[in-house]
Amino acid sequence: LEAKEEFEHKSLAVDVMRPRRADPALAVLTQEGMTVAEAESLVESTRYSGFPVVVSQESQRLVGFVLRRDLLISLDNARQRQEGVVSSSQVLFTEHAPAQAAEAPPPVRLRSILDLSPFTVTDHTAMNITVDIFRKLGLRQCLVTHNGRLLGIITKKDILKHMAQMANRDPDSILFN
C-alpha cells in the first residue's frame, strides 16, 4: 500500500469502512446463542473472508475475528466427527460452556479458531495511521469501533479502492504533492 499524502490527511476510518450507509449490516457471529444451522446460513449467504464475533447483538462488543475458511472447516468437522452434533447444536466461542438442558445436543466449541486480538481502530482514526498499520503489520483487514462497540470493517482492498476514488475525485491535490 502506497502512502498518498492527500489521502492521508483528509480521510478517517469511518470514510473507508464497510458497511456503508446503504449496505446490509455487518455480518457478525455472537459468542453464544447461535446454532450450527444459523452459523452455516450466515456463512453461506455471504462471501466475506471473515466474521467478527461479538458478545451479543445488543452490545456489539468485540470478542474476536474468525476466518470464513476456518469456520466452514470446523463446522463441517464437527458435523462429521463430533458425536451428537446436529443443526440445533449451539456454537460456542466462549471459554466456558453455559449450562444447557440435559437433553440438548452437544455444543460445538470453536474458541480455538478465534483470533482473540484482531486489530482495531476507532471510527475517527486518521487513514494515514491506519494505512501505516496495515503496511507494517501486513494486515488483510481491521475492525472499526466507536466507544467499544463494533461499527465496521476495513479490508486492504477497501483501502486501495478508496485511494483510487480519492485520486479520481481530486486530481489537483495530487499535483501539489
Residues that bind ligand ADP (CB under 6 A): 18-19, 26-27, 47-51, 153, 155, 157-158
Residue 88 C-beta: closest distance to ligand ADP, Å: 24
The number of residues making up the chain comes to 177
Residue with cell 479502492: 161
Report whether 62 contacts 143 (CB < 8 A): yes
* Residue with Cβ nearer ligand ADP (68 or 79): 68
Q: How far apart are CA 140 and CA 161, in angstroms?
A: 14
By beta-carbon proximity to ligand ADP, the closer residue of 61 and 157 is 157
Q: In terms of CB distance, is 19 or 98 closer to ligand ADP?
A: 19
Q: Which of 118, 116, 114, 111 is nearest to 145 (CA)?
A: 118
Q: Of the two residues 63 and 153, which places its CB atom closer to ligand ADP in the complex?
A: 153
Nearest to ligand ADP of 70, 158 (CB atom): 158
Q: From CA 150, how far away is CA 124, in angstroms rounded?
A: 13
Nearer of residues 18 and 146 to ligand ADP, judged by Cβ: 18
In the complex, least distance from residue 64 CB atom to ligand ADP, rounded to whole angstroms: 13
CB of 155 to ligand ADP, least distance (A): 3
CB-CB contact of 31 with 151 (8 Å): no
Burial of 131 (0-12, 13-18, 19+ CB in 10 A): buried
CB of 160 to ligand ADP, least distance (A): 9
- At 43, the amino acid letter reads V
Q: Edge to edge, what strands does the sheet with 108-109 contain?
A: 34-35, 90-92, 108-109
Shortest Cβ distance from residue 142 to ligand ADP (Å)?
Answer: 10
The distance of closest approach from Cβ of residue 154 to ligand ADP in the complex, given in angstroms and rounded to an integer, is 6
